[in-house]
Each structure stands twice: as C-alpha cells, then as structure tokens.
Structure 1
C-alpha cells in the first residue's frame, strides 16, 4: 500500500477512485511488473472492500477491473554441468590473487550458492540464517530456515523473523557439499554469537539481496555467463528433486503448502514422456502373428 498504491492515490477521496481509475492504475503497474500489478490489485481491493463494509462506497470498483494477463512462463532450471561451470567461475574469482577493485573475496558468494543448492532456499532466506539455525554436528546436519532479509527504500536492511510466509518455516537436512561449505564459512568467520548471521558484511550488518545479485552478475559476467539469477537455483533444486523423487517432496523442500504453485512456477517441464507407455501400447495393440 505504501509503495505502490498511496503514491498515486493519496490526494484522492474514496469516491474519486472509480473503475476507470483503478483499471488504468493496474494496467500501468502491469507494464512495469506483473507481480507489482498483482500486489497493487490485492491491496487496493482490500482497502476498497473496507470502504464498502463501512458504507462509504456502494460497491468495490476492483470487482469490475479487467483481469491481469501474462504470457505463460516456463520455469528455467540449470543442469548439473551448468551448475559446475558456475561453481568453477566463482571459485576462480575468489581465488584470484589480484582484484582490480575492492577487498579480496572472503568466500561468502560460493558458500551462499552451495546453501541455495542444498536447501532450495530463497536468497533472502539464506542471508537470514543465524548461527543458532545451524546444526552441523549431528549425524544429519541441518539448517532451520526461519527468516528473510528485508530492504526498503530509506530504511536499514533488517532480518524479518519469518520467511516469505509464516508457514514456510522449515528445517532442511543438508547434502554433503552444503554441510562442507557451511563448515568452511563458520571456520572463516571465527567466533560467532548465536544470533549472528552466517553471511554478513565486514561491518557485521546483513548482506542485501540486491548486492548479492549484483555481485553474482559481475562474477559470472566476467566469465561470459549471462542470465543466471539466485532464483534460478531455487527452481533448479525443485526440478532435480521432482525428477528424482516426486512433486510432494519438492513442494515440501520449497516450503509450499500447495503443489500447484510448485508445478506452475518452479518445476521445469520435461518433454520426455515416461517410456513405460511404449511397453503398455505394445501390450494393448500387439499385432497378430502372421
């Protein structure tokens, strides 16, 4: 409401906000971003519905706004060889002796990638991991995902005490490559309090998701790799789990309560139909022996 709706409506009375104005507002947002348009539509509908309940408006103008449409999007995921190319590019950058500008890399970028690959966590969830959320000494190492990093214009970046949704708090068992990366990060970080963030700036403040994205683009761009975003690792892990197990396990790992969301937005569709169909059709339509 504060960032999307109020900038264009704070000088209007409720009765001035009609169907045409609402429709124009949502369409302008959609030109910038489909997700922004969805958010703006949702909060504006809720606000105007409150006005209807208090009998300030006779009906909700948002009920008559045209539906949002977006071209179908197929989730993109990385293959295992592509993941290893990315790992190698980051490792070369972190181990380089001479860096043109800025301090020497501290290994956090590669560790962040390994945690995303091993947990399917969103970048904000990874940056919000505290020392107390890590169990690296048990027979099955794990990380509790229980927060996310929030950055707002004009405000300090801070850790929110729940992930994208409160229901998506979860404890994720770690594969060996992630557990090893976390151990190296803890060793490099030295003494840490229970509430200290696993990944942080040299000043001890939270890393911003924007800075991590920017650094990833810079490092991979220098290696000739374009188009890779942190969210792509989210989809890559979901696709791998679905391909090797099932959609329910993938949805649970991502913290989704509905597998439809996982299928629609996070699983890369395979064009290969189960080859069992060939044997089935052989049995169903076998030719008579001549």
Structure 2
C-alpha cells in the first residue's frame, strides 16, 4: 500500500490509517469478520471455551446463561464493527441501574467474548477496556448473634420433633445437623452436603472433618458430588467444636449406609441432597417460626465474624478457605462499631491534665 502527504509524518499517518482499515475489512480466522453478527461471535466464543476445557462446566453454563439473558437482548442485531466503547458503556450503566450483580455479570461475559475477537485478530481493540468502572455502594456483611442462633436451633428442633406436623414424611433430623456443621466449620452448603463418612473423624482427641468436595446440580443432569470444593485451595481439615461433633455422631449413628464413601447427608433414596432443596426447607421451617432472612451463607458470615471478634482476621480467612483476607473482610465479617475501650486509657496517659 502507498500513501502521500504534505510531509513524511502526514504520509505515515495516512498509511497507518489505510492499513488499519484494510485489516478491519479482511477476515483473519476464515470464519468471522468485523461485519459478522455478534451472535456469531457468541457461538464462536462458547465453542472456544469448550475446546480449551479450562473452566468447569458449571461456570461455562453460567456464562452462557448470562450472555443469553443479559447481553444478547441488547446486542443480538449488531455487527462486531458496531460495538464500540459508547454503546458498551451505556449498556453497563443501564444494567447497573437494575442491579450491581446484573451489571457485573454482563460486564464479565461481554468482555470475554470481545477479548476473544481481539486475540483472534477480528477486532483491533476491546471496547470493554475503556468502559467506566462499576461503582458499588459500601456493604456491611450481616451476621447472627448467639441469641439468634439459638432461636434458629429451637425452631428447627420443634419442627423435627413433629410439633404441628400434619401430613407427609416426618422430618429425618438432617436439617439441624446440617446447620450445626455449617456453624462449626464455616463450610459452604455445597461442601457440607458433600461430606462423606470417610471425611469424618470423631473418635480422635480432636474431632475433625475434611472438606474436599461440593455438590453440583446442573440443568438436565442428576445432582452429583464433585471431588473438589469451589476451588482446589478450599480443601481443608477443620477441627470441630463440641456442638458440631455431637451432631455428626448422631448423624453417623442414624445413617443406614455404612460405606466409607457414602454421603453423611442424603435423601431417603440415597441420592445427594441438592443445595436448593436445603435452602428451601430452611426458609420454610424458619418462616413458620417467624424467622426471615436466614440463608446457609449467613451462617458462613456468622462464623467468620465470631472468629475475627475472638481471634483475628487471618484465622477467619484460613477457616473459610480464603487465600486473601481482603475477601474475608469485605464480604464475610460484620464490622463492630465499638472501638476498643483501651483507647481511653491510652489517651488519659497521653494527655492527662496537669494538676494545679
């Protein structure tokens, strides 16, 4: 290609512009071009994810769902060339007006898809690189008090004792044990439901549980136990407080399946319990007792707050399986408004008034 100009610099600028336009007009991967529909890029992106096989199927399905429900309704009729910074920026801001979560999920999948187009030389730059950062209002994690925990225990105990039971199968006692394990380990609900008999040691001087898996439920598939937690670094062995070890012993005594690989908690048919069903049962039982807003994750935040208040954030992060204490502080620990009263004594010493 050639270009002329009033000076060498001007000719060079014109030539670079022509080269850039030429690159944008030529297909680079034999399939997609800047004039391809965004929907074609989405298909290409999902196929690329499948080919790499680096992320879990659950995450892959989540990406596909978020792309289909959040992004495609706005971008499906656009070509790749038409997706610029302004359009992306306005889209993310509109999603943020609905919720921070929607904006964040939209931002992730749109960025990943367009980044693939850049890597495969379909687009010169990723417009998402220049979109304004999301702003989230400060959030203080909530946690249960000891009094609230005991109210929850009482409500579940009454339900499991059959108080007010009308029809259907009687409670099997698993819900209370699941709650005690969450309170004693800070484990995620999926990790608790994935505990096997072989993962439990309640006979040694220090009873413990090894958290080494999680329960996965995918659309169109049977619920199954995954042999690692949310992340590989989340594998951990947790010493049990007395209330948890007692609950586990009771559960072991009642369980019919003695196979070491049998799940500690399972349905009457011997299949894994789903996290959604346990959440629903907990919500229903506590709702009947007039207790609202309690989720399995609230127990995790409650444990983190208690450990931080009585020890330190490093120990809380270790118990939760976090490698970064910033995550623990930001999302799991309820900040106390009470400043250590030792400051008053220190200031008395520093600025005591002279005696007349």
Kindly tell me: are residues 150 and 37 of structure 1, through their superposed partners in 2, closer, same or farther at Cα, counting changes over 3 Å?
farther
CA distance in 2, matches of 1:196, 1:11: 51
1:170 equivalent in structure 2? 236
Which structure 1 residue ranges, 5 or more long, are not aligned? none
Are 1:247 and 2:309 matched, yes or no? no
Asked if 1:143 is matched to 2:205, the reply is: no
CA distance in 1, matches of 2:258, 2:110: 44
Partner of 1:71: 137
Matched residue, 1:88: 154
Higher relative contact order (CA 8 A, sep 6+): 1
Q: Which residue of 2 aligns with 1:155?
A: 221
CA displacement at 1:191 relative to structure 2: 3.0
What's the offset of the Cα at 1:243? Answer: 0.5
Aligned pair partner of 1:60 in 109, 126, 144: 126
Aligned to 1:215: 281
Match for residue 168 of structure 2? 102
Tell me: CA distance 1:187–1:32, structure 2 relative to 1, closer, same or farther (3 Å).
Answer: farther
Aligned twin of 1:272: 338
Distance in 2 (CA, whole Å) between partners of 1:166 and 1:80 is 32
Q: Which has the larger radius of gyration?
A: 2
Superposition RMSD in Å = 2.0
* 1:20 to 1:128, Cα distance in 2 relative to 1, 3 A: farther
- 1:144 alignment partner, SS class: strand
SS of 1:5 mapped into structure 2: helix
Gaps of 5+ in 2: 1-62
- Matched residue, 1:5: 67
> Which has the larger displacement, 20-29 or 212-221?
20-29
CA displacement at 1:154 relative to structure 2: 2.8
What is the deviation of 1:80?
A: 0.6
The reply to whether residue 263 of structure 1 matches residue 325 of structure 2 is: no
The TM-score, its normalising length taken from structure 1, stands at 0.92
Shift of 1:206: 1.4
Report the Cα offset of residue 32 of structure 1. Answer: 6.0
- Determine helix, strand or coil for the equivalent of 2:66: coil
C-alpha distance 29-216 of structure 1, shift in aligned 2 (>3 A): farther
TM-score by length of 2: 0.76
- Counterpart-to-counterpart distance in 2, 1:274 and 1:83: 25
For 2:112, what is the secondary structure of its paired residue? helix
Deviates more, 1:153-162 or 1:138-147: 153-162
Q: Hey, what does 1:186 align to over in structure 2?
A: 252
